[in-house]
Structure 1
Amino acid sequence: MKSTQLPDTRLIEGMLQRRTTNGPFRPDAVSREHQELLMRVAQAAPSHFNSQPWRFVLIENPQTIARTAEIAGQSMTELIEAGVFFERYQRYFRFTQAEMEERRDGIHIDHLPGPLKPFTRQVFSDAGLKLMRQLGVPAKLGEDNRRLVAGSPLLLAALLDKEEYRPGELSGFYSVFGLGAAIENIWNAVGALGMGIQFVSTPMEIPRHWQSIRELLEVPPELELMAVYRLGYLPDEGPRPTIDWSSRHRKRLSQFVFRESCRVPEQD
């Protein structure tokens, strides 16, 4: 008679508990053991023909982190000041729990500076942007962003080898797919190590700032810088950013899964 073993669901449970860290990290350096482990889980990701097109830069140098933080903060200030950030991404903003329950996607803006709370729905309009400028919110958000990056003990740059990464060809898609899988492995692993991770996205929004990051990291012509992340150990609790959101809702199965063809939504 065969013995029945219950499946080990710890990996699945860890994936379902995945989080993005919007707040600060502890100042402790990330151990070399944990850094190596994160690189090994990235290495385990699938890639087309086992090409492993990803390359990573682990950054602990305080001067490099500080300069990256300055660029990230300045980028945020410029994006908010010009209204570019809200113009590009307003379709993802939700302002009530009811909206989140209905759509089950996007981000719920649930934390605003006191003077802006009466104008929650208008905060990203022209009038709201004018008020934010008057209150110095763009500079405050830029400084928040700078401090978050500057206080991160580890930055991780993700790159692709241009021999494999050829935009417009299938190899370009395969390479991005593989890097995405490698990053997702890292993202799922940090929780088990008591760590957090967040995309440092604002420099990518402004070409000259992204070029500054490339130069700072001395990226050679044969590599393409794709993304930068900040990592560190999580504190017990930390203050929320000036403008913050939650994004734990996920679409129902019937909203993104079909059965047999695209005409038949899956039942919830």
Structure 2
Amino acid sequence: MENTLFDLTGKTALVTGGGTGLGRHFAEVLAGAGARVVVCARRVDKLAETVAAIEAAGGTAIAQAMDVTSEDSVREAYAAAVGDGVVDILVNNAGVVAKPSLLDVDVETWDWVQEANLKGPWLVAREAVRRLAEAGKPGRVVNIASVLGTAVQKGTGPYSASKAALLHLTHIMASEWARYGVTVNSIAPGYYSTDLADEFLESPRGKALLARIPQRRLGEYRDLSGAILLLCSDASAYMTGSCITVDGGLALPLI
């Protein structure tokens, strides 16, 4: 195997939602592979912690405020982070979750989830690919979806619908943007200990779900390292429109 297959030296990677949880882990993994990482979120204080951790490990990173639901904010963030240049690798990780059932959720909450989880990835990817196409450079886009984009779990309607749509959006992006040398793939994590999931995982329903995972454990951040490196590197040059599920077998159709 080529020693440089997963080497990201000389690449610029942008990770949304990079201040905490999976986003921070993705940023650290990409920086560890040699990429210059731009971590984005609305909470700039958390971004500073990610940058500090990457720099302490010998990597290169900068923090950039971005509201993924705002076209102006996305455009301004790119300009501040890379000027007239390009982002070679985009990881669309930012997202939100809402708990009410479909009968109880209000319109404002529904719209909030769809804006962050579906409109946001489109806006951020569109800006990345516009710049790549104009520069004539190839690129990688990785959308962070969820097993709940294909599996059904009560009480997750707005979130699950947004992730199902994101998976299909990934397919359309892959089809339309292949001509520019851009691959677009997704990762569908199962349950990990994150800010979004911790409260549910501590509930009786969460503990019951844990017992249904064939590997009998929650995912650990390191379980996603291989998938993100694969999809962001030359190792996945002939992959586009694919989804890698990393869930310990949770979404298997068991009988």
Normalising by structure 1, we get a TM-score of: 0.23
Q: Is the radius of gyration larger for structure 1 or structure 2?
A: 1
Q: For CA contacts below 8 A with separation 6 or more, give which structure has more relative contact order.
A: 1
Normalising by structure 2, we get a TM-score of: 0.24
